[in-house]
Amino acid sequence: MAAGPRIANPVRSAFAPGERDDTVVVSIGPSHPATHGTIQIFAELSGERVIRADVHCGYLHRGFEKECEAHTWHNCIPYMDRLNYCSPLINDFAYCDAVERLMGVEITRRAVVLRTLLSEYSRLCDHITCIAASLMELGAMTAFLYMVMIRDYMYEHIAALTGARVTHSYGRIGGLARDLPPGWLERLEEILVQYDDFVGRVHGLVDRNRIFIDRMRDVGVLSQADALSYGYTGPMLRSTGLALDLRKDTPYLAYPELDFEVPVGIKGDNYDRYYVRMREMDESVHMIRQCVEMLEPGPINVDDRRCSFPEKPLVYGEIESLINHFKLVMEGPKVPAGEIYVAHEGANGELGFYLVSTGEGTPYKVHCRAPSFVHMGGAHKMLEGYQLADLVPTFGSINMIGGECDR
């Protein structure tokens, strides 16, 4: 590094400043309040208008796949949490589902319903975080504070179940870490009532707010053809009017039994993306209430010694369980050789796990098809042609999550 500048530049822009006389190249990020920390955008401006944009991610690439290859199938679960840290439970359950299908394990009814409930609860948290952050970036501080308040109730509530506020590590191969504590469902209903109240205020504050509409309507428009070509899924694709939802199309968990709608937008601009997320949150609340009704007592872990741990008293009391526990902890569950791709509807879109096993206790390969990463590949389509200031709400509405984008 002797020849170059003292602090090296980690990226190279697709276009150099000074290629054209009438434009200027601006670098936005990677440490910028509106880029959520970890993205860098080179924007070529003509006046205030973005002509070309070059999006760079990878500032949070922390070797997720390499780490997974060095851990047992169980020990990978905490790494899943930190992919999309706004909705960690969806990641956990998608990964566990993939491993279970590879092993041929069918989880218990109570685990199915609980996973569905918690996935929707997590989706609620994720959308709240996304909307709160993008509203704050537009200056709507009050709405942000309302959203963070209700989200904090949820965090504390999930912490009562899982032991952690943000990164829960609650999924287990073959079931869940532990059952619901007493009074959890009662508190859940209280929070859902409060949620209606808080989100109602946000609706009142911003939905028909002239400033908000001017910043969001017809800004960052994405056509349906572009969305499909760039591999968009989830709320981003639905905002363009295509009702594509893995919960409906490729049924998993308890979703086939639930009654819910798939909200879609009209033209795929920022306002549609905001509103699709708001509507999805209401649908999630509706689903959570149905799941509470469906919940029946029963075991949460399958009785399969290949993956689930024996009861603690048995581990201390008999040699077979002790050895079973030892083998599961030290060597990991033996997953049959093969490969599998399983996708769940994450908060941002299709969250897929491609696993390759050679029959060992550690995965041979764990690849995550992360929606945020794919969305970044087409982000320039939504930035080009709009004002520089529009970059902030557009980027906020994509809901790029560094953990799963860069992995």
Q: Which of residues 339-368 bind other proteins (CB under 8 A)?
A: 339-343, 350, 352, 354, 356, 364-365, 367
Q: Count the neighbouring beta carbons within 10 Å of the beta carbon of residue 278.
A: 18
Instruction: Identify which of residues 123 and 369 has a Cβ nearer to other proteins in the complex.
Output: 369
Site for other proteins in 142-201 (CB under 8 A): 144-145, 148-149, 151-152, 155, 165-167
The DSSP element (H or E) to which 405 belongs, if any, is: helix 402-406
Report how far residue 233's alpha carbon sits from residue 14's, in angstroms, rounded to the nearest whole number. 26
Dihedral sign computed on CA atoms, order 360, 361, 364, 368: positive
Instruction: Identify which of residues 300 and 351 has a Cβ nearer to other proteins in the complex.
Output: 351
Instruction: Identify which of residues 133 and 307 has a Cβ nearer to other proteins in the complex.
Output: 133
Candidates 17-25, 45-53, 141-149, 264-272; binding stretch for other proteins (CB under 8 A): 141-149
Q: How many amino acids of this chain bind other proteins (CB under 8 A)?
A: 82
CB of 320 to other proteins, least distance (A): 31
Instruction: Identify which of residues 156 and 303 has a Cβ nearer to other proteins in the complex.
Output: 156
Helix/strand/coil for 177: coil
CB of 316 to other proteins, least distance (A): 28
Binding mask 110-129 for other proteins (x = CB under 8 A): -------------------x
Residues 100 and 74: beta-carbon distance below 8 Å: no
Residues 270 and 262: beta-carbon distance below 8 Å: no
Candidates 8-16, 105-113, 297-305, 384-392; binding stretch for other proteins (CB under 8 A): 8-16
Instruction: Identify which of residues 70 and 211 has a Cβ nearer to other proteins in the complex.
Output: 70
Q: Which residues contact 369 (CB under 8 A, 6 or more apart)?
A: 341, 343, 350, 351, 352, 353, 354
Site for other proteins in 33-62 (CB under 8 A): 33, 36-38, 56-62
Residues 134 and 215: beta-carbon distance below 8 Å: no
Rule CB under 8 A: is residue 403 a binding residue for other proteins? yes
Report how far residue 194's alpha carbon sits from residue 61's, in angstroms, rounded to the nearest whole number. 37
| Residue 50: both structure tokens together | 């973005």
The DSSP element (H or E) to which 367 belongs, if any, is: strand 365-369
CB of 269 to other proteins, least distance (A): 19
